[in-house]
């Protein structure tokens, strides 16, 4: 008879006779008992070892998982810095995720300037040059904002922060940005924009009191819509990129957490934000770099030589919109994971309401930089881009007086001034 024949055909019939097993054990000599206990302890230790978290600061080689790095945090000095940064002269204390990012830095700085308590959180990933993020961090530190290094997917860290500080608000700006990069690294979008959002909302929902949450959605949710200007009431079910799809998913997830847990949630659909301390992956930024280097730039055109245009929005206008949304956010109604009543759920466009063709953006840069661009006009690749965006901002105007005041010419002038001085400074530092 083979050993397989010992196993009954139905697993339900297979029962270990525990009583006889333990009875047998009881009557063994003490040496056997000792051997058994030692073996048991050894197994337990091995199990604990296998389940222990990865070593601190271990970096992952898979680029899609680069932001899963673990971080060192904790300790009295760390908590002291958090408490100091959270000190408020108003009644508002905000956790800003993505604080070392472009919008995150500007918003954190504005909140701190007006007296709010601000704690930043950022994973400093290498989607673009991390030294720029470090420079933004240094800027914020000088104004008293501490950025905790960590990932929004780290539930323990989030819980710890909520234990140390009573946040009245969360300004959730951490995300995997960029429309075209989604084709290169799709999982990073799922990781940050979906899993990270859910993780954060889970911690917020369980907090007592629950904070009100304002978060970054995107103009890209309008996808292939042709009706302009884009209004919040328009359909958003034809995203052109995975980035857009994850932001749209975020809006649906927000609905769920509002409905079940009473979280107050406000999504802001940003329209191509630009300005000083901006993102190097965005066209206005790398066009500037390439024009100065004498490299050719690709300018996309849509079908039949159509113009590709964007409702470029200056960072200071976006910051005003973020603060307006935060100041009009009502309190969440739940506590400790239980809903106590209906809570606020909002979505706003934050755009400039005047789309500009990309070729005009290049002409403005040429004038500001005093260098002629080497233009290479090509058909827009199928890369997730949409031909145009145009915001209707009447809702944000009505709700919190949102009124953009910076045109592209003025905004780019400020950007170019910053760009030249920032990179001249970097060159000088490198030469030293
Ligand atoms: O509003 C948003 O929600 C998004 O805004 C931004 O996306 P976009 O509006 O696509 O900005 P950006 O890449 O600067 O391209 C600008 C223009 O240049 C064109 N473009 C681009 C590259 C190129 O080589 N040539 C070109 O013509 C291109 O076709 C486009 O017309 C953010 O990156 C994104 O994270 C998200 O926040």
Atom of ligand 1 nearest to the CA of 282: 14
Query: Of 231, 242, 238, which Cα lies nearest the Cα of 389?
Result: 231
What SS3 state is found at 282? coil
C-beta of residue 357 within 8 angstroms of C-beta of residue 300 = no
* pLDDT at 54 (0 to 100): 31
User: Could you list the pLDDT tens digit for every one of the 432 residues in the chain?
Assistant: 333 333 332 232 223 333 333 333 333 445 455 555 555 555 444 443 333 333 223 333 344 445 455 678 899 999 999 999 999 999 999 999 999 999 999 999 999 999 999 999 999 999 999 999 999 999 999 999 999 999 999 999 999 999 999 999 999 999 999 999 999 999 999 999 999 999 999 999 999 999 999 999 999 999 999 999 999 999 999 999 999 999 999 999 999 999 999 999 999 999 999 999 999 999 999 999 999 999 999 999 998 889 999 999 999 999 999 999 999 999 999 988 899 999 999 999 999 999 999 999 999 999 999 999 999 999 999 899 999 999 999 999 999 999 999 999 999 999 999 999 999 987 777 777
243 among known catalytic residues: yes
Calpha distance 404→387 (Å, rounded): 23
* pLDDT at 8 (0 to 100): 30
* pLDDT at 371 (0 to 100): 98
Q: What is the pTM of this model?
A: 0.86
Atom of ligand 1 nearest to the CA of 216: 37
Sheet of 146-149: strands edge to edge?
A: 146-149, 117-122, 93-97, 169-172, 212-218, 265-270, 345-350
- Find out whether the beta carbon of 96 lies less than 6 Å from any atom of ligand 1: no
- Find out whether the beta carbon of 271 lies less than 6 Å from any atom of ligand 1: yes
- Find out whether the beta carbon of 299 lies less than 6 Å from any atom of ligand 1: yes
* pLDDT at 69 (0 to 100): 56
* pLDDT at 155 (0 to 100): 97
- Find out whether the beta carbon of 219 lies less than 6 Å from any atom of ligand 1: yes
Calpha distance 27→16 (Å, rounded): 19
Determine the distance separating the centroid of ligand 1 and the alpha carbon of 272, expressed in angstroms: 7
Determine the distance separating the centroid of ligand 1 and the alpha carbon of 312, expressed in angstroms: 9
65-271+314-351+390-405: CATH superfamily: NAD(P)-binding Rossmann-like Domain (3.40.50.720)
What is the rounded end-to-end Cα distance, in angstroms, of the chain? Answer: 82
* pLDDT at 27 (0 to 100): 33
- Find out whether the beta carbon of 272 lies less than 6 Å from any atom of ligand 1: yes
Determine the distance separating the centroid of ligand 1 and the alpha carbon of 226, expressed in angstroms: 18
User: What does the domain layout of the chain look like in residue ranges?
Assistant: 65-271+314-351+390-405
127, 189, 243, 261: the catalytic one is 243
Which residue is it, tokens 């994850």? 246
3-state helix, strand, coil in the chain (%, to 5): 50, 15, 35
Determine the distance separating the centroid of ligand 1 and the alpha carbon of 297, expressed in angstroms: 14
Pocket test for ligand 1, best of 250, 251, 310 (most atoms within 8 A of CB): 310
DSSP 131-189: HHHHHHHHHHHHTTPEEEE--TT-HHHHHHHHHH---SEEEE------SGGGGT-HHHH
* pLDDT at 108 (0 to 100): 98
- Find out whether the beta carbon of 355 lies less than 6 Å from any atom of ligand 1: no
- Find out whether the beta carbon of 177 lies less than 6 Å from any atom of ligand 1: yes
- Find out whether the beta carbon of 220 lies less than 6 Å from any atom of ligand 1: yes
* pLDDT at 430 (0 to 100): 77
Determine the distance separating the centroid of ligand 1 and the alpha carbon of 84, expressed in angstroms: 38
* pLDDT at 36 (0 to 100): 54
């Amino acid at each position: 008879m083979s050993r397989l024949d010992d196993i009954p055909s139905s697993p339900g019939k297979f029962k270990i006779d525990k009583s006889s097993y333990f009875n047998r054990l009881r009557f063994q000599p003490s040496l056997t008992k000792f051997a058994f206990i030692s073996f048991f302890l050894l197994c337990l230790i091995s199990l604990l070892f296998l389940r222990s978290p990865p070593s601190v600061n271990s970096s992952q080689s898979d680029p899609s998982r680069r932001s899963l790095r673990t971080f060192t945090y904790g300790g009295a000095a760390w908590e002291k810095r958090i408490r100091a940064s959270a000190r408020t002269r108003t009644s508002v204390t905000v956790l800003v995720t993505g604080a070392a990012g472009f919008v995150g830095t500007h918003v954190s700085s504005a909140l701190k300037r007006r007296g709010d308590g601000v704690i930043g959180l950022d994973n400093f990933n290498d989607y673009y040059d991390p030294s720029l993020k470090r420079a933004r961090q240094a800027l914020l530190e000088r104004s008293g904002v501490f950025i905790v290094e960590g990932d929004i997917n780290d539930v323990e860290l989030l819980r710890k922060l909520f234990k140390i500080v009573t946040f009245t608000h969360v300004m959730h700006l951490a995300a995997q940005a960029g429309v075209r990069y989604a084709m290169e690294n799709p999982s990073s979008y799922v990781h940050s924009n979906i899993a990270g959002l859910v993780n954060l909302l889970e911690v917020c929902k369980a907090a007592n009191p629950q904070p009100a949450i304002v978060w970054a959605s995107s103009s890209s949710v309008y996808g292939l819509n042709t009706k302009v200007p884009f209004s919040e009431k328009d359909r958003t079910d034809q995203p052109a990129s995975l980035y857009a799809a994850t932001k749209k998913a975020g809006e649906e997830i927000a609905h769920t957490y509002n409905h079940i847990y009473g979280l107050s949630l406000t999504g802001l659909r940003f329209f191509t934000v630009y300005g000083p301390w901006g993102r190097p992956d965005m066209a206005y930024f790398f066009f500037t770099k390439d024009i100065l280097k004498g490299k050719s730039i690709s300018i996309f055109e849509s079908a039949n030589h159509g113009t590709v245009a964007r409702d470029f929005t200056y960072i200071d206008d976006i910051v005003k919109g973020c603060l307006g949304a935060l100041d009009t956010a009502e309190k969440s109604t739940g506590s400790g994971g239980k809903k106590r009543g209906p809570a606020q759920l909002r979505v706003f466009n934050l755009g400039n309401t005047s789309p500009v063709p990309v070729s005009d953006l290049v002409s403005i840069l040429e004038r500001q930089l005093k260098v002629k661009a080497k233009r290479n006009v090509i058909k827009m690749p199928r890369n997730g881009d949409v031909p145009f965006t145009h915001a209707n901002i009447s809702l944000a105007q009505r709700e919190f007086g949102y009124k953009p005041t910076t045109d592209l010419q003025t905004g780019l002038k400020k950007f170019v001034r910053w760009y030249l001085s920032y990179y001249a400074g970097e060159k000088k530092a490198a030469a030293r």
